[in-house]
Amino acid sequence: MVKVCLFGKYNPQYHRYRVLKKGLERCGIPFVECQTGKSFDSSFKISVFVLENLELAKKFLKLKRDFSHIIVCTDLFHVPLVYLYSRIFRKKLIFDPITSYYATRVYEQGLIKKSSIKAKLVLLYEKMGFKLPDRILATTEEFKHFFSKLFSLPLDRVSVLPVGGELVTRACSDNPSEGDTFRVTYWGGFLPQHGLECVLQAAKILEKNTDIMFIMVGSGFAWERMRKLSIKMNLSNVKFTGYLPSVKFTEEISRADVVLGFFRKGGRASRSVGNKVFEGFALKKPVITGSYPAIRRYFSHKETLYMIEPENPNELAKGILQLKNSPKLRRQIAQNGYDCLKEKFSEQKIGERLKNILHTI
């Protein structure tokens, strides 16, 4: 019988794993979780590696090991340990990386210099780690080919499992903003691939439209830099909420008239279909995002979402105005996006795709 162990230092409430767990449940696949609740430093240090793996090892060895597959969630640094377990206890090993630590730190965030010894060590470790599992999961075809090329993996060792979305009950396409304000809403971790400079530049272009407000929900990597840039640009039509607890977060995003996706050129953005796209679909909100290969593979402009050229604030401003001035287009995109999610990317559909992958390993 197929049974899964979800393993690693991951947030069980993160969108990817909420969808994945509900998908397993909907398809009748039992699972257990071996997840550390402790918070360790996220930097690349031997001490962190040891502490996290000791914590997870204790939990793993206490489990009733009647599962057939282990899925390592997100963190590559646990793969060698779990590889050892998988061979000792005869389990199939799957790694769900979301992205590459090396590519993120070196290319996206610029936190590690490509020429440094640290970068070379991280890349070497990742190449080793990506070759150990029986199967790698990729969220898009673009990520599949990226992993294959970067880590010299055969394409048949990588399977595509889209992020997907939850068919939530709070969908609210007919719940407009309060008053006369048209709310353009972003939420997330302020990551480089989100291209938020483009969003602030579009806000500057639209600042004379006093009924349009940009709402920036969350905190993270570039939050402080974006906030300071907003002040420098003297933007009165941009509001930074910071982190919001669950209830207030839901209230805030439910008031959105338009949801923002990714806007950076190239890199991770070009390979991704972000959580915000699927979350926007689930809320029956029209999503506006950059036009990337991964996006165009699944969706159509002005049908399931609104696409613009990445890093083009003029196009973004134009798209926001068009959506603002056409309630019919907004409703059409919102409904089609929700229908697309329901037909192809719901928890049930993601569960079915994962079930098929499990049966092929």
What tens digit of pLDDT does each residue of 102-145 get?
888 888 888 889 889 988 998 998 999 999 999 999 999 999 99
Tell which wins on pLDDT, 289 or 78.
Answer: 289
Q: Return the pLDDT at 37.
A: 62
Is the CB of residue 186 less than 8 Å from the CB of residue 196?
Answer: yes
Distance CA 9, CA 74 (A): 8
Q: How wide is the angle at C-alpha 280 spanned by C-alphas 279 and 282, nearest 5°?
A: 65
Q: Return the pLDDT at 67.
A: 95
Q: Return the pLDDT at 81.
A: 87
Q: Return the pLDDT at 171.
A: 47
**pLDDT tens-digit series, residues 227-280:** 999 999 999 999 999 999 888 888 898 899 999 999 999 888 889 998 889 999
- Tell me the pLDDT band of 74, cut-offs 50, 70 and 90: confident
| Equal fold, 4-164+347-359 vs 182-344 | yes
Q: 19 pLDDT exceeds 70?
A: yes
Q: Return the pLDDT at 51.
A: 80
- Tell me the pLDDT band of 46, cut-offs 50, 70 and 90: low
Tell which wins on pLDDT, 163 or 176.
Answer: 163
Q: 40 pLDDT exceeds 50?
A: no
Which conformational region is residue 98 in: left (phi greater than 0), alpha (psi within -120 to 50 degrees), or beta?
A: left
Percent of the chain exceeding pLDDT 70 equals 93
**pLDDT tens-digit series, residues 217-239:** 999 889 999 999 999 999 999 99
- The pair of structure tokens assigned to 237 is 């039509």
Correct CATH for 182-344 of 3.40.50.2300, 3.40.47.10, 3.30.70.100, 3.40.50.2000:
3.40.50.2000
**pLDDT tens-digit series, residues 300-334:** 999 999 999 999 999 999 999 999 999 999 999 99
Fold observed for domain 4-164+347-359: Rossmann fold (3.40.50)
3-class DSSP state for residue 358? helix
What does pTM read for this prediction? 0.89
- Tell me the pLDDT band of 9, cut-offs 50, 70 and 90: confident
Q: Return the pLDDT at 179.
A: 62
Q: 97 pLDDT exceeds 80?
A: yes
Strand partners, 96: 73
Q: Provide the pairing of β-strand 135-138 with 287-290.
A: unpaired
Q: What is the mean pLDDT of residues 47-75?
A: 86
- Tell me the pLDDT band of 44, cut-offs 50, 70 and 90: low
Is the CB of residue 319 less than 8 Å from the CB of residue 288?
Answer: yes
Q: Return the pLDDT at 333.
A: 97
Q: What integer best gives the mean pLDDT of the chain?
A: 90
Is the CB of residue 219 less than 8 Å from the CB of residue 242?
Answer: yes
The structural domains of the chain, with segments of one domain joined by +, span 4-164+347-359, 182-344
